[in-house]
C-alpha cells in the first residue's frame, strides 16, 4: 500500500472537509474503555501519517443497544451485534469513516458492504481474577459467589470448582467493580486487556493461564471496520494493520463461525502464533461446566481459517457423539 495514500498532502481534496481540519471520523461506543481504544487508534494513525495532526481526526461516541442493557443476560436478548448495530448504521450513513471495536463483541457475520480492514496489535488475551486477595481460582473460599454474565467464564469456573455460585454481573468495567465493592459478589473475572487499557491492571488478584481459563474469541484485539468500497480509508489503515493479530483472530473467528447457529453454549477459542505455526485451542462446554469438550491443533498460519473450521467441526462431532450416547442411556 506504500505510496498509494490518497489523502497525502493538506491540499488534497479527495475527502470532503466537513469539520474544518477534520478528515477522519472515528465511531466508537462511549464507555471509558471504548474511548481509550478509539484514542489508541487515533494515536497510531497520527504516528503513521506525517500529515495528520490531532485536529485531523475526530472521535464520535455512539450509544448502542448493548450499552443500555444493565441487568438482563446478553444471550437472552439477542447476544452479538448489540454493541455494533448503531455504529454500523453510522458507517453506512457516512457519519463516521471508521468504527473501532473490541473484536470480542463483533459478530462473525458482518453486514454486506462493511469489513474489518485493520487489526491493532493484540493486548494480553488472558482473564484476570479480581477476588478479595484470592491469588488463584483454587484459593477462592468454598461456595464463593462469582459475578459474571459470561457463559464461557461460568462454565470453565464451575468445571474447576463446582461449589462456586455464579451470579450475573453486568455493565462496563467500572460499573462491575463498583458492584463488586458493594458486595454483589466475592469475585469476578475481567479481561486483563480491558484492565490494562484502563490503567487498572493492579486490581487483578490473579492472572489466569489460558489453560485454566481459555479466552474468548479475539479477546484483547481491537478491530477497525470501514465501508468495503472506501479505498481511501483502507489505504489510511494499512500502515497500522498488525498481520499476526489478524491471523490469530481469523482462526478463532472461523472456529466460532463453525460452532455458531448450531448451539448457544459456552465457547472459548484461542490461537497463538509461533513463527508461521498456529497453535489453536478450542472449547465447547455445558453452561454448568459438567461437560467440557476440547480441541487442540497446530498448522501453518496460511491455513488459519481452515484450522479454525476444523476445530469447530471436531467439537461439533464430539458434541453429537455425546448427544447420541445420552439419548441411548436415558
Ligand atoms: N464483553 C465485554 C467486553 N468486551 C471487550 C472487553 C475488554 C477486553 C477485550 O478487549 O477483549 C470486555 C470486558 C471484559 O470481558 O472483561
**CATH number of the CATH domain containing 268:** 3.30.160.40
Q: For ligand 1, is residue 219 a contact (CB within 6 Å)? A: yes
Query: What domain range is 31 assigned to?
Result: 24-122+221-241
From the alpha carbon of 219, which atom of ligand 1 is closest? 11
Do 65 and 92 share a domain, yes or no? yes
Length of the chain: 330
Which of 104-113, 168-177, 184-193, 273-282 is predicted with the least confidence, judged by mean pLDDT?
Answer: 168-177
| 44 is a domain residue | yes
Banded pLDDT at 173 (limits 50, 70, 90): confident
| 256 is a domain residue | yes
In this predicted structure, what is the pLDDT of residue 123? 98
In this predicted structure, what is the pLDDT of residue 36? 98
For ligand 1, the distance from its centroid to the CA atom of residue 312, given in whole angstroms, is 22
| 73 is a domain residue | yes
Question: Between residues 99 and 20, which one has the greater pLDDT?
Answer: 99
Do 28 and 115 share a domain, yes or no? yes
Which of 5-9, 102-106, 174-178, 227-231 is predicted with the least confidence, judged by mean pLDDT?
Answer: 5-9
**pLDDT surpasses 80 at 95:** yes
Give SS3 for 145.
strand
Mean pLDDT of 186-191: 97
**pLDDT surpasses 80 at 6:** no
**pLDDT surpasses 60 at 7:** no
- Tens of pLDDT, residues 220-259: 999 999 999 999 999 999 999 999 999 999 999 999 999 9
Do 96 and 230 share a domain, yes or no? yes
The backbone torsions φ and ψ at residue 206, rounded to the nearest 5 degrees and listed phi first, read -160, 150
**pLDDT surpasses 60 at 70:** no
Q: How far apart are CA 37 and CA 54, in angstroms?
A: 15
Question: Between residues 274 and 323, which one has the greater pLDDT?
Answer: 274
Banded pLDDT at 83 (limits 50, 70, 90): confident
Mean pLDDT of 318-325: 84
Do 134 and 118 share a domain, yes or no? no
| 313 is a domain residue | yes
**pLDDT surpasses 70 at 317:** yes
Which of 1-5, 24-28, 38-42, 188-192 is predicted with the least confidence, judged by mean pLDDT?
Answer: 1-5
Verdict on whether the full-model pTM lies above 0.80: yes
Do 117 and 78 share a domain, yes or no? yes
| 282 is a domain residue | yes
Banded pLDDT at 82 (limits 50, 70, 90): confident
For ligand 1, the distance from its centroid to the CA atom of residue 2, given in whole angstroms, is 33
Do 231 and 91 share a domain, yes or no? yes
Secondary structure tally for the chain: helices H, strands E: 9, 13
Question: Between residues 287 and 172, which one has the greater pLDDT?
Answer: 287
Q: How far apart are CA 329 and CA 15, in angstroms?
A: 66
Closest residue (by CA) to atom 9 of ligand 1? Answer: 220
Do 45 and 134 share a domain, yes or no? no
Sole residue written with cell 445420552:
326
Closest residue (by CA) to atom 2 of ligand 1? Answer: 105
| 6 is a domain residue | no
| 9 is a domain residue | no
Mean pLDDT of the chain: 90
Do 116 and 134 share a domain, yes or no? no
Please choose from 29, 31, 33, 151 the residue to mutate so as to test ligand 1's pocket, defined by most ligand atoms within 8 A of CB.
33
Do 102 and 236 share a domain, yes or no? yes
Do 233 and 90 share a domain, yes or no? yes
Set 5, 17, 67, 105: catalytic member:
105
DSSP 166-181: EE---SSHHHHHHHHH
In this predicted structure, what is the pLDDT of residue 54? 82
Contacts of 302 (CB under 8 A, 6+ apart): 276
Do 72 and 147 share a domain, yes or no? no
% of the chain exceeding 90 in pLDDT: 76
In this predicted structure, what is the pLDDT of residue 216? 97
Q: How far apart are CA 257 and CA 315, in angstroms?
A: 12
Do 105 and 237 share a domain, yes or no? yes
In this predicted structure, what is the pLDDT of residue 4? 44
Report the Cα 93 to chain-centroid distance in Å.
25
**CATH number of the CATH domain containing 148:** 3.40.190.10
| 15 is a domain residue | no
Mean pLDDT of 78-86: 77
In this predicted structure, what is the pLDDT of residue 322? 84
In this predicted structure, what is the pLDDT of residue 329? 53
Is there a catalytic annotation at residue 229? no
In this predicted structure, what is the pLDDT of residue 277? 98
Domains identified in the chain, total number: 3
Amino acid at each position: 500500500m506504500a505510496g498509494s495514500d490518497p489523502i497525502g498532502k493538506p491540499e488534497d481534496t479527495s475527502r470532503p472537509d466537513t469539520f474544518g481540519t477534520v478528515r477522519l471520523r472515528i465511531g466508537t461506543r462511549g464507555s471509558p474503555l471504548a474511548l481509550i481504544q478509539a484514542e489508541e487508534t487515533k494515536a497510531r494513525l497520527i504516528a503513521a501519517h506525517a500529515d495528520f495532526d490531532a485536529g485531523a481526526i475526530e472521535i464520535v461516541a455512539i450509544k448502542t443497544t448493548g450499552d443500555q442493557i444493565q441487568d438482563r443476560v446478553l444471550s437472552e436478548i439477542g447476544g452479538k451485534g448489540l454493541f455494533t448495530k448503531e455504529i454500523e448504521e453510522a458507517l453506512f450513513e457516512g457519519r463516521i469513516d471508521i468504527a473501532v471495536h473490541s473484536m470480542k463483541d463483533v459478530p462473525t457475520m458482518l453486514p454486506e458492504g462493511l469489513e474489518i480492514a485493520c487489526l491493532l496489535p493484540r493486548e494480553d488475551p488472558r482473564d484476570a481474577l479480581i477476588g478479595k486477595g484470592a491469588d488463584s481460582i483454587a484459593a477462592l473460599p468454598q461456595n464463593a459467589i462469582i459475578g459474571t454474565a459470561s457463559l464461557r467464564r461460568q462454565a470453565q469456573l464451575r468445571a474447576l470448582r463446582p461449589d462456586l455460585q455464579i451470579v450475573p454481573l453486568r455493565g462496563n468495567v467500572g460499573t462491575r467493580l463498583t458492584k463488586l465493592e458493594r458486595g454483589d459478589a466475592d469475585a469476578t473475572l475481567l479481561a486483563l486487556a480491558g484492565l490494562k487499557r484502563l490503567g487498572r491492571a493492579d486490581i487483578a488478584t490473579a492472572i489466569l493461564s489460558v489453560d485454566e481459563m481459555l479466552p474468548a474469541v479475539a479477546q484483547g484485539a481491537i478491530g477497525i471496520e470501514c465501508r468495503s468500497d472506501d479505498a481511501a480509508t483502507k489505504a489510511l489503515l494499512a500502515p497500522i494493520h498488525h498481520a499476526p493479530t489478524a491471523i490469530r483472530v481469523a482462526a478463532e473467528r472461523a472456529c466460532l463461525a463453525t460452532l455458531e447457529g448450531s448451539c448457544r453454549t459456552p465457547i472459548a477459542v484461542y490461537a497463538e502464533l509461533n513463527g508461521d505455526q498456529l497453535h489453536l485451542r478450542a472449547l465447547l462446554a455445558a453452561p454448568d461446566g459438567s461437560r467440557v469438550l476440547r480441541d487442540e491443533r497446530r498448522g501453518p498460519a496460511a491455513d488459519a481459517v481452515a484450522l479454525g473450521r476444523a476445530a469447530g467441526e471436531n467439537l461439533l462431532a464430539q458434541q453429537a457423539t455425546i448427544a447420541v450416547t445420552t439419548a441411548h442411556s436415558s
